[in-house]
Structure 1
Amino acid sequence: MKATKITYWITTVIVAVMMTYSFYAYLTNPALKQGFQHLGFPNYFKIELAVCKLIGAILLLQPLSKLAKEWAYAGFTITFVSAIIAHVSSGDPAGLFMAPVIFLVILGVSYFTYRKMQRAV
């Protein structure tokens, strides 16, 4: 159980830190505005996504209700899958859509270790 807890916290913190960094970068990095335009998204979507990423990161780290945490996992899964689809559909090279693939795997490990810990309680 100790290894499961350690794996859960490491993967969860990685996802939360990455999402918090995305929140900051989406609101401050002008290059990301061009990236969103390249993918065909309006500028306001970047702001919505940034706010949702910060809220989700907070929900993942807080010992709140199980339902809130499940929604955060679902939201991040949709975000990563959508990012992969957007990059592939835009004809971007593999290097641009591999990051969401990697973070989707990390998120999956976090989720499955979370569920394993919940079953043990």
Structure 2
Amino acid sequence: MSTSTSDRTRAIPTRAIIYWTATVLVVAELIVGGLWDVARLPFVRDTVTHLNYPTYFLVLLGVWKLLGAAALLVPRAPLVKEWAYAGIIFVDSGAIVSHLTVGYARGEVAVLAVLAALTVVSWALRPPGRRIPPANPV
């Protein structure tokens, strides 16, 4: 008895598909952005300078992004994942506020908002093995 492609596709819950799609997009942005930050590419350095941040901040931010990407991909370690999700939201919301406050490259605000939303979707739909177990009542 063979299983058709549509039967196999239906076997994967929609929640898992949405979770992994959002997570892969967030992780891809963290890896690419983290590498660009660590390399201090000119256009990234120019953006940070226009936002009135020191350029050395890019290396710190880039390393955090790369560690966050790793944390989201590794199995287990739910507490580390919680911290990674929080850090991503801090970075994205900080970037949104910075762009709006300084008035520089406001078009990027929409992209940053989408990335923040994808992070929230990934966090909200993560499977039980990637969540902190509930505390036992005393």
- Give matches, 1:32-71, under 5 Å: 32-71=44-83
* Unaligned ranges ≥5, structure 2: 1-11, 134-138
The residue that corresponds to 1:23 in the other structure is 34
Count of residues in correspondence between the two structures: 118
1:60-118 superposed Cα distances (whole Å, 9 cap, x missing partner): 0111311000000000010000000000001135312111101001111101101xx32
Distance of 1:94 and 1:37 partners within structure 2: 15
1:47-69 superposed Cα distances (whole Å, 9 cap, x missing partner): 10000000000100111311000
Report which stretch shifted further, 82-91 or 21-30.
21-30
Q: Is the 8 A contact 2:51 2:99 kept in 1?
A: yes
Match of 2:98 among 86, 95, 102: 86
Matched-pair identity in %: 31
Give the alignment's Cα RMSD to 1 decimal: 1.7
The residue that corresponds to 1:9 in the other structure is 20
Distance of 2:29 and 2:119 partners within structure 1: 11
After TM superposition, the runs of 4+ consecutive aligned structure 1 residues lying more than 6 A away are none
TM-score (norm 1): 0.90
The residue that corresponds to 2:108 in the other structure is 96
Distance of 1:31 and 1:4 partners within structure 2: 37
Distance of 1:91 and 1:57 partners within structure 2: 29
Alpha-carbon offset, residue 33 of structure 1: 0.9
- Change in Cα spacing, 1:39 to 1:93, as seen in structure 2 (3 Å) is closer
Distance of 2:90 and 2:43 partners within structure 1: 23
